[in-house]
Amino acid sequence: MAKSLADMQQDCIIVNGGVLLKGKLILEDGSVFHGTLLNNIKATGEVVFNTGMTGYQEILTDPSYCRQIVTLTYPMVGNYGIAEIFMQSRKSFVNGFIIGELCEQGSNWHYETSLSEFLTRQGIPCLYNVDTRAVTRKIRSAGTMKGIIVAEDAAQTEIDELFAVPIKKDVVNEVTTPEIYKMESEKKDAPEVVVMDFGIKQNILKSMHELGCSLTVVPAQTKAEEILAMNPDGIFLSNGPGDPKDVPEVIAEVKKLIGKKPMFGICLGHQLLALALGADTYKLKFGHRGSNQPVKNLATGRVHISSQNHGFAVDEKSFEGLPLEVTHRSVNDGTVEGMRHTGLPIFSVQYHPEASPGPDDNMYLFDQFWTMLTKGE
């Protein structure tokens, strides 16, 4: 039945002379959270939350969030706008964005455009004026789950159709580089590193490049034989989205690289290394996502604040009988945040030492990789 004018007006909010459509986030358990739609674009994805107070652009452009609907707990977003310098990938791969207050007037000396303009240009569905802490409490108690963003007056048939859309699993191939490219170093005798790109953040590349490494970035599906033919001094396994077990063909290639060259992995790269070495991984209830996550370095006893973005973890119990040991542990829940091979120059961490956003407490890990490459330690 057609809606009356009065009914349609109730579905809209008048702000600064413009008509903004009411919308809602619906979770698969039936929970509903109301807000305002920035753009009338529907979305389906896994709903997750990030507790960081800054860094919304880096979060939006981190490929590890591919196909997810990201909720920010910080109450106001967009207050410093958007700038090209903070982009972490060629585009945003998120399926949706859930926030509290959307700030239209950004103020920053890097400012180039507003957050709302960026979201619209990127085609990212955004629901704002949402009680994001209520969303977070739900996800923390019930676990991550599928959700959809729709207009307030969406028909039940439309809602059912969106929930019927499966969440894509082949996400690494969506975010990886389509072709090989190089980042040469100006340093004499710079170590050569092959970077396996599973959805790498630009600040990881920047961190290694500024240290003095010459980088060759290769697609995720590159064969081990092709990598070894480049004769690098070391191999880096990047961050990326999804369940590491969804890419068994990549794990098979990583296995062939074990023991051939020094290796360093971050986030998904850490998980893929663990699986290649015979360990196991599992899905966390609601994951670790934020720039304020404490991690303990077991060798020094020091606790560092880290930036994290992962929904899976390495299972410490699966280390039994393997040449692996835990090097870092989450202070919050005791999960594995770092490991090393006891007999080979291989180490990895679950968290993001390059930050962007977040603290730089953990940049020493890139120095550790540099020492491994240049001195064989």
Residues that are catalytic: 267, 352, 354
359 upstream amide cis, omega within 30 of 0:
no
Beta strands in the chain (DSSP E): 12-15, 18-27, 32-37, 43-50, 68-72, 76-77, 96-98, 101-102, 126-128, 145-151, 181-183, 192-197, 214-219, 234-237, 263-266, 280-297, 303-315, 324-330, 336-341, 346-349
- For residue 339, give the nearest of 323, 355, 352 by alpha carbon: 323
**Are the C-beta atoms of residues 344 and 298 closer than 8 Å to each other?**
no
Cβ-based neighbours of 72, under 8 Å, separated by 6 or more: 49, 50, 52, 56, 59, 97, 98, 99, 100, 132
Cβ-based neighbours of 17, under 8 Å, separated by 6 or more: none
Q: Are strands 126-128 and 96-98 parallel, antiparallel or unpaired?
A: parallel
Contacts 24+ apart (CB under 8 A), 316-325: 317/280, 318/274, 318/278, 318/279, 318/280, 319/279, 322/277, 322/278, 322/279, 323/277, 324/274, 324/277, 324/279
Helices (H) and strands (E) in the chain, counts: 11, 20
- For residue 222, give the nearest of 263, 170, 184, 178 by alpha carbon: 178
Q: Are strands 181-183 and 192-197 parallel, antiparallel or unpaired?
A: unpaired
**Are the C-beta atoms of residues 125 and 42 closer than 8 Å to each other?**
yes
